[in-house]
Amino acid sequence: MGLRIAIVGEPTKGKSTGIYPNSQYKIKGLAPEETVLLSFSGKQAPVRGANRLYPKDRKISEGGNHAHITDVKTLPKIIQFISNERPEIKNIVLEDAQYSMSLDFMNRAKEKGYDKFTDIGVAFANWMTEAQNSREDLKVFVIWHPEKDKDGEYKMKTIGNMVDAYLTPEGLMDIILYATCSKGANGVMEYNFVTNNNGIFPARSPIGMFDDIMIPNDLGLVSDKVNEYYN
């Protein structure tokens, strides 16, 4: 079974920063040679040397490690291919994954009726199930935006009540970390992941996996802690 790890946070909270190795900010990050970056928005990887670390000149099936996903229905097969045919890959990062719903919705916005909402929910469940069924040493990091529900509580953002009626994204995740930032004592912004519910962010991780409720926004650190905990 693969592991599904949600990294939830507003823009500029340091979600993507934690993907990439950065010695200046003491971020281990994920090794590019062990990572496939799949972007729903198609934006460039926000890291120095992106074209070298995550080039777009090769397909995933040809040994590439960066692709723009334009049709969410192709994602289960991509995950399955990586799981079965790319044993060197230990991490899949789904950047801006909430767009897997919203872009599909916009493409079908003029359709009448509610079938599109069911289809969008089913498509999400399909690729999440494929992530779960992948090999056990594969981690799928799902980068996602939050929103607040009618009670003012944070949740993973969807395209509305019709999808919420069919599924709860949180229920399909093994670990949920929330990205946050604040000014430190020296006035410099500090970026962190919340590892468990702190009364504000409904983060979730197994008891004892992380030493603190706040950890640096470093997916390399997260990966190491996961491996240490389960192995």
Q: What is the pLDDT of residues 193-206, one digit of tens each?
A: 999 999 999 999 99
DSSP 164: H
Residue with tokens 């934006």: 43
pTM of the model: 0.94
CA atoms within 13 A on the CB side of 201: 24
Whether the pLDDT of residue 84 is over 90: the answer is yes
Query: Which amino acid is located at 173 in the chain?
Result: M
Q: In what order do the strands lie in the sheet with 214-216?
A: 66-68, 35-39, 91-95, 139-144, 3-8, 175-183, 189-194, 214-216
Average pLDDT, whole number, for the chain?
92
Please state, in angstroms and rounded to a whole number, the distance separating the CA atoms of residues 180 and 194: 7
For residue 186, pLDDT over 90 is answered with no
Rounded Cα distance, 89 and 110, in Å: 39
DSSP letter (8 states) at residue 194 = E
Percent of the chain residues topping a pLDDT of 70: 100
| Best CA proximity match to 75, nearest among 103, 116, 50 | 103
Q: How far apart are CA 113 and CA 120, in angstroms?
A: 13
